[in-house]
A and B are shown apart, each in its own frame.
Chain A
Amino acid sequence: MRESERGHAAKIRQERWAFGLIRALSGATIIILAAIVGFILWRGLRYSNETRSPYLPYAERSPEGVAILVNGGLRLEELDFEQLLGIYSDEYINWAKICADATDLLPLALEPGAPGAGSAEALVFGQAPAWGALVEFSPTPEALLERLASTPGSIAILPEPALAGLKPEARRIGLRRLVVAMNPEAAELVNERSVEEISLGDLAGLLRGSPASWAALGGPELPVRPLAPESRGPLAAALEAAGLEAPLPAGGTPAEDSGQDTCAAIASTPGAVGFAFARDALGAGLPLLRLRGRETGWNLKLRYLLEEPRLSGRAGGISTIILNTLSMLLLTVGIAGPVGVAAAIYLVEYARQGPLLRLLRLGTETLAGIPSIIFGLFGMLVFVDLLGFGFGLLSGCLTLSLMILPTIVRSSEEALKTVSPALREGSLALGATKLQTVFRVVVPAASPGILTGLLLAVGRAVGETAALLFTMGSDYKLAKGLFSSSRALSTHIYLLFAEGISFDRAFSTATVLIAVVLAFNLAAKRLVGRMSRNAAR
């Protein structure tokens, strides 16, 4: 007895481990949910992206004495040099690729030869001006500013002195043009790899000569030679203004005069690296070191919910998509709700036990198990093509209705079954017909359960994507009617990802979708809770 008692104690201790494991796994479901929802919300609300750009994150307000101005309606704080160059050499025709604005782009400048026009020209083009055909020239700064203020999406470059005494109704923006240029030999391929990028943190070290050899960064066996501009030139001034510590001339050849000379020095010194203006480095054909950084900010703003999407969702918000989703849900519930409840009424109140009822039940169960992509195929064949509804709201909603029908039928059945027979008998005993009894007594009594089922079904419908892609279409404009192609939130998320438009925007939209889905599910749960409390009373 003693011995077996000790055996039992050991057995129970062992089993405690098993129970602990099971408990932990159960708790893990909560953690998984929290991880998914938390991640989507966090990622949807904030963005935190790794950036890879050759430009140092310092914007000059007046580079080489030139002011860059944009029309006040434009949401833009700064440009980098290549964007500026592109704007003035016809590479862009609207702002969409530069900022979240889709207006047409109008580059403005002072006429070449006008007083002070040369400095702006030199800022953009250096010695070899190549103005684009789209650039509009103005004879005087006043005319330029007038044009700027009156044309949305316009941008102007003009020398600071020309601004004196004028009060422009435009916004001044910054220019990022500081880059890290390297000697071409240092960027050569070694084992199919080359030095391409460096984190902002490591840059300071590199410019102080550590590591001592490019090999440590995956490049050739070549000593790192940091070069500094002379302390008087514009490059040195720009670096000083940015608060950057220029590399000490540690054994390297000190560069002289302007930025161009620094570039020349870098080009001619094996293993050299140093700050440069993008214009000069690009002009000299020097490889630029890409800088890894991280930028964070708010992703989901109220504006995103209220604005219309533009350019496939690259710009603007998702207001029309939210409205389309809403009409999709209303239409779907409008179709599937009555049909599903009617089916449940038939199954519970009318159908007799037997093979027919079993067959109908089997139909519901089978329909519930069919994958959404098959529904999509069917919807496309029948609603889109055969019945000729085309890609649009109606085809999509009919397809969705079929999909969520089993959910509604089953939950309504459960709800109707819980209505006590005494209620039915009471009504029938008063001389009511069966139909009257069903619609005036049984259905109202079961309505909270039916409503719960509808909420759950809607929660499923709102997240559906595969069945909608080939039935409802993907037009992100506001649906004009039953037959107009329209895009739902879930489709938008997928397309933002699949068309490579924006991960950030996909997550913002996902945040909205997950909020909607959770709201429906929690509402359904609430309703169930209230029902069971009422039943307990």
Chain B
Amino acid sequence: MKRRRIAERGIEGLLVFCGALSILAVLFITLFLFLRGAPLFKKVPLTEFLFSTRWEPTAADPGYGILSFIVGSLLVTGLSLVFAVPVGLSVGVYLAELAQQRFSRAIRTAVELLAGIPSVIYGLFGIAVIAGLNRSAFGGTGYGVLSASIILAIMTLPTIINVTEVSLRAVPRELREGSLALGATQWQTIIRVLVPSARSGIAAGVILGMGRALGETMAVLMVGGNAPIMPKGLNGMVRTLTMNIITDMSYAKDDHLTSLFATGIVLFVFILALNLVVQIALKRSLSGAEGAAGA
């Protein structure tokens, strides 16, 4: 009996460890990334690293400025949201409020499968189709900000759709009925009551999608053009933070390698900040929904 007790304790201890593994992993990732990347700032001032556009890590007088890549990441991510948010919101509204059974099941399946397609396949599709269309429409190489944003928009669509649908469904039925009973049409109810009520949740979805886009590597690597310069306009070639890490990783040494980890730190900080905002927004959206239910 006693031995069994001890065995149970042991197993329970193991469960605790597994439960804590995620947070431990996050802590270790943070720790190692900083340990490996931060030494760069002893040689290169942080301000120069962040605000210089001179990226010549292999030159005799090496330059480690990643401003172009920060701008590239933000530009590509922002533009992808410009494409993805209107579509994602519309589809989310459709699934939550308007859908007929069969059509909505087909759409839901499509969204789930889109979420499952590997990024390297998005990349191939981007090279062969998106960049090609882009080239014939706007000239140039076809590789650049625009193509990367379109691919990213498709990739972030499922996240935005899902979160929009879930937060719209969380809006209490009473609000919908209250609006309809005042003689509002379905459209007015959606636009003026439901979407505003679900806005924190929808914002969380958009930010979640933003995080996805910011962290995406393979697809943008394949269609972005990867020129280590400030992007020249919407059709100019672009290198993002993620691309910068993966491109040089295979041959970088010494300070150059450290600078790649430092790039990782910058990306990581961006992502953590976005995650924090999402957590706050989701909490707000849940408490908002409860508050709206009244009583």
Check whether chain A touches chain B (CB < 8 angstroms).
yes
Decide yes or no whether B116 CB sits under 8 A from chain A: yes
Indicate whether A326 reaches chain B with its CB closer than 8 angstroms: no
- Residues on A with beta carbons closer than 8 Å to the beta carbon of B175: none
For residues 151 through 192 of chain B, which have their beta carbon under 8 Å from a beta carbon of chain A? 154, 157, 161, 185-187
Shortest beta-carbon distance, B112 to chain A, in Å? Answer: 6
B36 at the interface (CB under 8 A from A): yes
Which residues from chain B contact A434 at a C-beta distance below 8 Å?
8
Binary B-proximity of A500-530 (CB < 8 A = 1, otherwise 0): 0001001100100110011011100100000
Contact for B15 among A30, A39, A345, A520, CB less than 8 A: A345
Complexed CA–CA distance, A363 and B95 (Å): 30
A328 to chain B, nearest CB (A): 14
Closest to A382 in B: B32
29 sampled A-B residue pairs with Cβ under 8 A: A18-B187, A22-B98, A26-B91, A26-B107, A36-B114, A342-B15, A350-B19, A363-B26, A364-B23, A365-B275, A369-B208, A371-B211, A373-B217, A373-B242, A377-B33, A377-B245, A378-B29, A378-B33, A402-B25, A463-B121, A469-B250, A490-B120, A494-B123, A497-B123, A503-B128, A507-B128, A514-B118, A514-B121, A522-B113
Closest Cβ neighbor of B208 among chain A residues:
A369
Asked whether any CB of chain B lies closer than 8 Å to the CB of A351, the reply is yes
Q: Is the CB of B12 within 8 A of A435?
A: yes
Contact (Cβ within 8 A) B22 A343: yes
Interface flag for A228 (CB, 8 Å): no
Known interface pairs A366-B275, A507-B124, A510-B121. Does A30 touch B106 (Cβ–Cβ under 8 Å)? yes
A464–B242 Cα distance when bound, in Å, is 15
Smallest distance from the beta carbon of A182 to chain B beta carbons, Å?
A: 29
When C-beta atoms are compared, the residue in chain A nearest to B127 turns out to be: A497
A53 to B202 Cα, complex, angstroms = 54
Interface size on B, residues (CB 8 A): 82
Q: Are A364 and B107 CB-contacts (below 8 A) given A25-B91, A371-B267, A521-B112?
A: no
Q: Is the CB of A12 within 8 A of B185?
A: yes
> Which listed residue, A345, A366, A381, A517, touches B36 by the CB 8 Å rule?
A381
**Interface SS of chain B:** helix
Asked, given contacts A25-B91, A351-B19, A493-B121, whether A466 binds B242 with beta carbons under 8 Å apart, the answer is: yes
A399 CB to nearest chain B CB (Å): 11
By a CB distance below 8 angstroms, the chain A residues around B25 are 363, 367, 402, 405
B154 neighbours in A (Cβ, 8 Å) = 32, 36
Instruction: Given contacts A29-B111, A370-B215, list 19 more A-B pairs with CB under 8 A.
Output: A15-B187, A22-B90, A23-B94, A29-B114, A32-B114, A32-B157, A33-B114, A39-B129, A342-B15, A343-B18, A343-B22, A350-B12, A378-B28, A405-B22, A460-B116, A463-B116, A465-B217, A494-B120, A514-B118
Residue of A22, A360, A463 most packed against chain B (CB within 10 A): A22
Q: Would you call B55 an interface residue if the criterion is a C-beta within 8 Å of the partner chain's C-beta atoms?
A: no
CA distance A360 to B12 in the complex (A): 16
B15 and A22 within 8 A (CB): no
Any chain B CB within 8 A of the CB of A244? no
Pair B119/A370 contact, Cβ less than 8 Å: no
Smallest Cβ distance from B292 to chain A, in angstroms?
A: 23
Q: Contact between A369 and B275 (Cβ–Cβ < 8 Å)? A: yes
> Does B112 lie within 8 Å of A374, measured CB to CB?
no
Which B residues are closer than 8 A to A by beta carbons?
4, 8, 11-12, 14-16, 18-26, 28-29, 32-33, 36, 86-87, 90-91, 93-95, 98-99, 103, 106-107, 109-114, 116-125, 127-129, 154, 157, 161, 185-187, 208, 211, 214-218, 222, 242, 245-246, 249-250, 260-261, 264, 267-268, 271-272, 274-275, 278-279
Within A467-481, the residues touching B (CB, 8 Å) are 469-470
For the complex, what is the distance from the CA of A125 to the CA of B200, rounded to whole Å? 77
Contact among B22, B87, B112, B261 for A364, CB-based, below 8 A: B22
**A370 touching B268 by the CB < 8 A rule?**
yes
Instruction: Please name all residues of chain B whose beta carbon is closer than 8 Å to the beta carbon of A507 when the two chains form the complex.
Output: 124, 128
Contact A346:B16 (CB < 8 A) given known A29-B157, A369-B275, A405-B21: yes
Q: Which residue on chain A has the smallest CB distance to residue B106? A: A30
Residue of A nearest to B104 (CB): A26
- Is the C-beta of A43 less than 8 angstroms from some C-beta in chain B? yes
Pick from A43, A340, A433: contact of B8, CB below 8 A.
A433
- Chain A 388-416: CB-based contact to B (< 8 A → 1; otherwise 0): 00000000000000100110010000000
Decide yes or no whether A441 CB sits under 8 A from chain B.
no
Q: Please give, as numbers and ranges, the residues of chain B lying within 8 Å of A520 by CB-CB distance.
A: 116
Within the assembled complex, what's the spacing in Å between the Cα atoms of A333 and B264? 27
Closest B residue to A8 by beta carbon equals B185
How far is it, in angstroms, between the C-alpha of A342 and the C-alpha of B10 when the chains are bound? 13
Query: A440 CB to closest chain B CB, in angstroms?
Result: 13
Q: Are B118 and A25 in contact (CB under 8 A)?
A: no
How far is A360 from B15 in the complex, measured between Cα atoms in Å? 13
Chain B residues contacting A494 (CB-CB under 8 Å) are 120, 123, 218, 222
Q: Which residues of A contact B109 (CB under 8 A)?
A: 525
In Å, the complex CA distance between A469 and B120 comes to 12
Tell me whether B110 and A30 are in contact (CB under 8 A). Answer: yes
Query: Judging by beta carbons under 8 Å apart, are B268 and A374 in contact?
Result: yes
**A11 within 8 Å of B by Cβ?**
yes
Query: Interface centre among A350, A435, A465, by most B CB within 10 Å?
Result: A465
B-side contacts of A28, CB under 8 Å = 87
Picked from A376, A382, A463, the residue with its CB within 8 Å of the CB of B118 is A463
Q: Does A83 contact B (CB under 8 A)?
A: no
Let me know if B267 and A374 touch, CB within 8 A: yes
